[in-house]
Amino acid sequence: MSDKSIMLTGAPYHVLAYGSLLGTTTCVGTIIQFKTLPRLQFSNLQTKTFPWYFGLQTTLPVILAVTLPGRGPFGAGAGINGLLDPSNRWGTLVPLATAFITGLANWVYLLPASKACIAERRAQEKKDGKMSWDPAPHSQEMAALNKKFGILHGISSLLNVAHFVATIVYGVTLAGRIN
């Protein structure tokens, strides 16, 4: 690195934040974990991982917005002002806002709701003497809890897909800015 002054700009932090945001995608790791670990260990691992994951999904788009590089003296500005420039609406503002909103929804609503549902299922498992993932038949209470968890998990998964797509869209925009 010949010019150390680059470290005084937002550029390196912006690129590192983008790489971290894309790198936090759990698609591959989660599938491998699910196929490899016993169900209870998988559940415990996910319970420990997802608060961090959703926290990163929420905070890294903010870091990207704050460190957004400008487009020279006649182009869009840097940071939040540049983010709000009309020329950055579809390639920058919309993807970063989508990533932030989907991460936040997972972090502050779906994660606590899922944890509460899991706790209810564990309590019901003790009452029923049967695990929630055991083959049917289940008690009416367990069937309702399994359905509730499935809905929460499905919504969270859809938000994760939207987050991933938004991150890729922004990555294409970022590549164009670097070029």
Taking only the tens place, the pLDDT of each residue in 31-84 is 889 999 999 999 999 999 999 999 999 999 999 999 998 876 667 888 999 999
Residue type, 49: T
Tell me the per-residue pLDDT of 150-166, one tens digit each, with 9 for 90 and over: 999 999 999 999 998 99
pLDDT of 159 reads 97
| Domain limits for position 100 | 4-178
* Lowest-confidence segment of 18-27, 75-84, 86-95, 109-118 by average pLDDT: 18-27
Tokens for 15? 């690129």
Tell me the per-residue pLDDT of 100-113, one tens digit each, with 9 for 90 and over: 999 999 999 999 99
Number of compact structural domains in the chain:
1
